[in-house]
Amino acid sequence: MTRYEVAASEATKWECASSDGDGGTTVTELHRVFVRLRPKAGPNITEAVEAMIEAAKRELRRPRIKGHRKPKPGLWQVLVVSDTHFGNYSWHGTTGADWDLSIAERVVGEAAGELLAVGDSHKPARRTIAMLGDLFHYDTPAGTTTSGTPLERDGRLQKMLQVGTETLLGIVERSAETVPTDVVLVHGNHDESLSWLFHRLLIERFKHDGRITVDQGYTGRKYLSHGRNLLGFAHGHRAKKKLPQLMAIEAAAEWAQCPYREYHTGHFHSTAAEWSRPIETLDGGIVRTAPSLCASDDWHHSLGFLNARQAMETFLYAVDGGLTATHVAGPRKELAR
């Protein structure tokens, strides 16, 4: 009866007379029951609502995953993931290079995988994935930035989110397989809303994973320290010249304890403009501008922002202070034949 319900039923009774063999008559009662069944069509509205209420009472969560053994003090690897611009579009016929969601998925995944493998070879005690904004090319269903600037784009917003989040989550999960990992995220100027949405997704996905720690703040500038190193993280589109001063104010205790101070930013894609050099020393701190893996779109190409290397970078810091190595990965340009 869990699969069928009664469509119709009928019960009847009648009497039958027969000889008893002695010249008399015997009356016998006869009964008949008829039932027609039909497959159940599914739950009714009341049953469906009750099931939804019961489901809502249960906490849906990923299985709890134990963390790595407590690491000894050692190297700190920082993988900078900035300006991936999932959803950006360019065509080689007008820009000299192609870029779309499928290319972004492959190039970002391969570059991150290469740099994580490089880090594993150095056996770091800790790894930070620093996501510095403009992970997504646009911020609205209409294909505009947060401030409303219209953009050329590849795919619908839903597809951009699917490809982008799967690729970025894959980087975090790959990292956590070998090294205790923390994730820090700041928003960009293209994707402020989607950055915070993705940040919340990171928190929920990994809150029961002992290998991964996701920064809980929603500020546009963040700080982490390791040994005698203090690092700041920002997208770089605001207050770039003031970043070391802001670090001294916003992370005053760590500033006093850490003589090695650096800021990692994105936004400029390592363009060669005088005011956005890839590495600057400002007020006692080094400010780095991360490159981007994405190709120039029509707007950047028309303004002459060319020849910046498509790349992703990782940095290794010694626990007693200072950068010890930098590694770069990304697509290699083929020479014209």
Q: Report pLDDT digits (tens) over 93-144.
A: 766 678 888 999 999 999 999 999 999 999 999 999 999 989 998 888 888 8
pTM above 0.85, yes or no: no
> Hey, how many other C-beta atoms are within 10 angstroms of the C-beta on 197?
15
Strands 126-131, 181-185: pairing is: parallel
* Helix (H), strand (E), coil (C) string for 81-129: ECCCCECCCECHHHHCCCECHHHHHHHHHHHHHHHHHHHHHHCCCEEEE
* CB-based contact 180:127 (threshold 8 Å): yes
Q: What is the DSSP letter of 71?
A: P
State the pLDDT confidence band at 173, using cuts at 50, 70 and 90: very high
Poorest-confidence range of 53-67, 196-210, 240-254, 321-335? 53-67
Residues 6+ apart with CB under 8 A from 155: 87, 100, 101, 163
The average confidence (pLDDT) of the chain is 84
Q: Name the token pair of 67.
A: 């963390």
pLDDT at res. 120? 96
- Tell me how far CA of residue 55 lies from CA of 48, 59, 79, 226, in angstroms: 11, 8, 39, 43
- Is a pLDDT exceeding 90 seen at residue 205? yes
For a pLDDT cut of 90, what percent of the chain falls above it?
45
* CB-based contact 289:133 (threshold 8 Å): no
**How far from the centroid of its chain's Cα atoms is residue 183's Cα?**
10
The closest alpha carbon to 82, from 255, 278, 316, belongs to 278
pLDDT at res. 337? 40
pLDDT at res. 17? 85
